[in-house]
Amino acid sequence: MISLILRTATRFLITLLLLFSVFLLLRGHNDPGGGFVGGLVAAAAFALYTIAYDVAAARRALWFEPRTLIATGLLAAAGSGLTAFAAGRPFLTALWGTLQLADPVAVGTPLLFDAGVYLVVVGATLTIIFSLAET
């Protein structure tokens, strides 16, 4: 079933949803949000796209193979833990630095870790949704 209204709305919604998901990821350390929720929002955005158009279009819109996202996410999360070794600390010890923007912002390896969680959630959810939709 092709719905012009849904399709048009989706084109705007997906942008907003993806922005929102990144927003959730970034604010997660201080306010409700985080990589997991952010990843779910992003996955929901592409799920919406899948419903409005079809799987092939959603795959094109995603650019990356979902399984690549899973692998990248796992690597990012594990890699953020490995950086601790460089500082001579145990695995997954957080390292922090300050980023001088308008206000000084604390940036640390947990952000990379959370980004890894985000990617794994997007990748795993979309792997399942795409596979189911293609059968």
Partner 1 sequence: MGLLASVISGFALAILAPWVHRAAREATGLLLALLPLGLTAYFLGCAPGVAAGEPVRAAYTWVPTLGVAFSLRLDGLSLLFALLICGVGALILIYAGGYLAGHERLGRFYAYLLLFMASMLGVALADNVVTLFVFWELTSFSSYLLIGFDRERAAARAAALQALVVTAMGGVALLAGLLLLGQAGGSLELSELLARGSELAAHPLAVMALLLIFFGAFTKSAQVPFHFWLPNAMEAPTPVSAYLHAATMVKAGIYLLARLTPIFGESETWFLVVTAVGAVTMLTGAWLALRADDLKRILAYSTVSSLGTMTLLLGLGTPAAAQAVVVYLFAHALYKGALFLVAGIIDHETGARRVPDLGGLRRAMPLTAAAAGVAALSMAGVPPLAGFLSKELHYAAAWESPQAATVLAGASVLAGMLLFAAAGLAAYRPFFGEPRPTPRQPHDPPASLWLGPALLAGLGALFGLLPWLVDAAVLAPAVAAIRAEPATLHLALWHAWNPVLGLSLITLAGGLGFLATRNALQRWTSGLGTLESLAAQRWFERALKLVNGLARWQTRFLQSGYLRYYLITVISATVGLSGYAVWTRVPFSPPGSWLDALAYELAVAALILAAAWTVVRSTSRLGAIAALGVVGYGVAILYILFGAPDLAMTQFLVETLTVILFVLVFYHLPRFSVLTRTPARVRDAVVALALGGFVATLVLLATSAPGESTLTPYFLEQSLPAAHGRNVVNVILVDFRALDTLGEITVLSVAGIGVYALLKLRLAGGKSR
**Positions in the binding site for partner 1 (CB under 8 A):** 28-37, 40-41, 43-44, 47, 51, 66-67, 70-71, 73-74, 77-78, 81, 91-92, 94, 96, 106, 108, 110, 113-114, 116-117, 120-121, 123-125, 127-129, 131-135
Q: Could you tell me the sign of the dihedral formed by the alpha carbons of 41, 18, 109, 113, in that order?
A: positive
**Closest distance between partner 1 and the C-beta of residue 7, in Å?**
17
Q: Between residues 60 and 105, which has the closer beta carbon with respect to partner 1? A: 105
Closest CB 48 distance from partner 1, rounded Å: 9
Nearer to partner 1, 19 or 132 (CB): 132
CA gap 117, 60 in Å, rounded: 23
Amino acid at 37: V
Neighbour tally for 125: CB within 10 Å: 20
Letter string b/e over residues 21-46, b meaning 16 or more CB atoms within 10 A of that residue's CB: beebbbebeeeebbbbbbbbbbbbbb
Taking every pair of C-alpha atoms in the chain, what is the biggest distance, in angstroms? 58
Give whichever of 7 and 20 is closer to partner 1, judged by the CB atom: 20
How far apart are CB 112 and partner 1 at their closest, in Å? Answer: 9
Q: Is the Cβ of residue 56 or residue 106 nearer to partner 1 in the bound state?
A: 106
Nearest residue to 117 via CA among 95, 99, 92: 92
- State the nearest-atom distance from the C-beta of 25 to partner 1, in Å: 10
